[in-house]
Structure 1
Amino acid sequence: MDLKAAGRQAAEDGVPLREIVAAAIPDDAVRKRVLALIEGYEAAQLDALRAEHEARHEFVADLLQGRAERLAERAEHFGLRLAESYTVAVASGVTGDLPRIIEEALTARFGSHNVLVAVRDGLLACVAPATLTAALGEFTYHVRTRFPEGWRVGVGRPHRGPGGVVTSFREAANALELADRLGLRPAVVKAADLLVFPVLLRDREAIEDLVTTVLSPLLQARGGAEPLLETLEAIFAAQGNQAAAARRLGISTRAVTYRLERIRRLTGFAPDDPTQRFTLETAVLGARLLDWPPRG
């Protein structure tokens, strides 16, 4: 009997090693001793894997939090080169065992030295080299197919070094927050596309003055300012196309025309005038950022 061939066949058939040993060693005493050795060996391997997994997750948590203690040294242990540029994507709506499932899927495809996955501040974060754009695309795919309805992915910009990972993570998280506050529709939002909003918020006094000056007259409208603000958002999103804006709002084109005329009369600004459109659009964005008008 070719034991080598039999062992190979058993492995291909998925037969557990213990069953192979039990079948190959008829002597009970010898078989028990061999099985005890196997049990100890497997237990040690499992402990080592768990310790490595915990150390990896602790490292990712420290990396995302900006704790600089021995980061470079610890990164080398996991095969990471922190001098490179990295990009971070985060997903909201994480539940249950999804982090482990997605981590296993990503590391199986791209390798554990290329992709880091961890939960931070209630968000599932994926850290990948900026050159490995496919990893973030794969991350988004798994979020889209596995997360419950209401998920959203934020993507930071690429930055270099350990501090760059923290910056990219914060950008991705802030992109999610801005998307929620602004009521943006895309399920994937990129920090690079939202750079104007932090600029607006840096001078809060100026943006508050703009919102109050331009939009306060809308409070006089029947039904309040909200329907008119939504109409302006729809018009801007549709590049001024009233029919497209009407479909977006679920109302008639005539109703859109009426609302725009109402806005012009109340504020003195017309969305179809290039200069006035810019002022109106900036004011509407500022209103969303400031959660204006205040509710109740």
Structure 2
Amino acid sequence: MAGIGRPHQGPGGLADTLTEARNAARVAAAREFRPAVEHTDELGVSRLLATWQQSDITRAFAETALAPLRDADHAHLLTALRAFLENGGSSAATARALGLHRNTVAARLRQVRDRPGVDLDDPGHRLALQMACRAVQPPGR
């Protein structure tokens, strides 16, 4: 994963460039199913999301919300959830991204939905889960 910051003048500018590059790299790392290089000028709203992802509150929520999916026995469910959320809630696109049959994806998403507190039909809940998925590294990464 790599991030590229904008050029800034002076010694303080170097620190700003590095901060932007780190934020862009965090966004690149969160995009498991997309290119692994991000430029800060191309981030748009992702720049704001990167800041949220780094907050202690977001990370604490992520740890709690995703705990049932983060162990080795359920890592495939977390991967399916991440792909589903990153692909706009499309099971077909998720299946393509993961190289799985759509019935396999549907079965995994049913298992995710069976977890307490997971409501993939609520847009606010999906957003919170997507932020949580981006805030924590998936197992094995």
TM-score computed with the length of structure 2 as normaliser = 0.75
Partner of 2:51: 198
Q: d(CA) in 1 for partners of 2:31 and 2:64? A: 20
The residue that corresponds to 2:107 in the other structure is 258
Aligned partners of 2:129 and 2:109: how far apart in 1?
12
Q: Over residues 171-214 of structure 1, what are the superposed CA-to-partner deviations in whole Å (9 max), with x where a residue is unaligned?
A: 2245235524653631430235242223332x32x234312331
Partner residue of 1:211?
62
Give me the whole-angstrom Cα distance separating, in 2, the residues matched to 1:207 and 1:235. Answer: 20
Q: 2 CA distance for matches of 1:249 and 1:175?
A: 24
The whole-number CA distance in structure 1 between the counterparts of 2:4 and 2:125 is 32
Which of 1 and 2 has higher RCO (CA within 8 Å, sep 6+)? 2
Sort the Cα spacing of 1:207 and 1:190 in 2 relative to 1 into closer, same or farther, 3 A.
Answer: same
* Deviations 1:203-245, CA, capped at 9 Å, x for gaps: 32x234312331122257xx62321111122112221111111
Confirm whether residue 186 of structure 1 aligns to residue 39 of structure 2: no
Alignment deviations for residues 51-76 of structure 1 (CA, whole Å, 9 cap, x no partner): xxxxxxxxxxxxxxxxxxxxxxxxxx
Q: How many residues align?
A: 135
Amino acid at match of 1:242: S
Structure 1 gaps of 5+ residues are: 1-151
- Taking only the aligned residue pairs, the percentage that are identical comes to 32
State the superposition RMSD in angstroms: 2.8
Is the 8 Å Cα contact of residues 28 and 36 (structure 2) preserved in structure 1?
Answer: no
Structure 1 contact 231–256 (Cα < 8 Å) conserved:
yes
Aligned to 1:114: none
Distance 1:237 1:199, change over 3 A: closer
Match of 1:73 in 2: none
Structure 1 residue aligned with 2:130: 281
Change (3 A) 1:240 1:156: same
> The residue matched to 1:272 in structure 2 has which SS?
coil
